[in-house]
Amino acid sequence: MAERKAVLFRLDPKLYLALRRWADDDLRSVNAQVEFLLRKALRDVGRQPSKEDDTTAPCPHP
């Protein structure tokens, strides 16, 4: 399994509480809920990375 990347970002406290409630309802952590939502958004716009993508390639925008 590929190494997971850690990302730090700031959220408005009200947004975080709404995400936490939603995650609790879905029996997920907030982190897992955010990842779920990002994957769904990528899939909905046709940008979901394929399994064949090289996850070790450097990001073009550091």
- Residue-by-residue DSSP string for 7-58: ------HHHHHHHHHHHHHTT--HHHHHHHHHHHHHHHTT-PPPTTS-TTSP
Tens of pLDDT along the chain (62 residues) come to: 678 899 999 999 999 999 999 999 999 999 999 999 999 999 999 998 777 655 555 555 65
**Structural domain spans, the chain:** 13-44
pTM: 0.72
Name the CA radius of gyration of the chain, rounded. Answer: 14
- How high is the pLDDT of residue 2? 75
Alpha carbons 50 and 24: distance in angstroms, whole number: 29
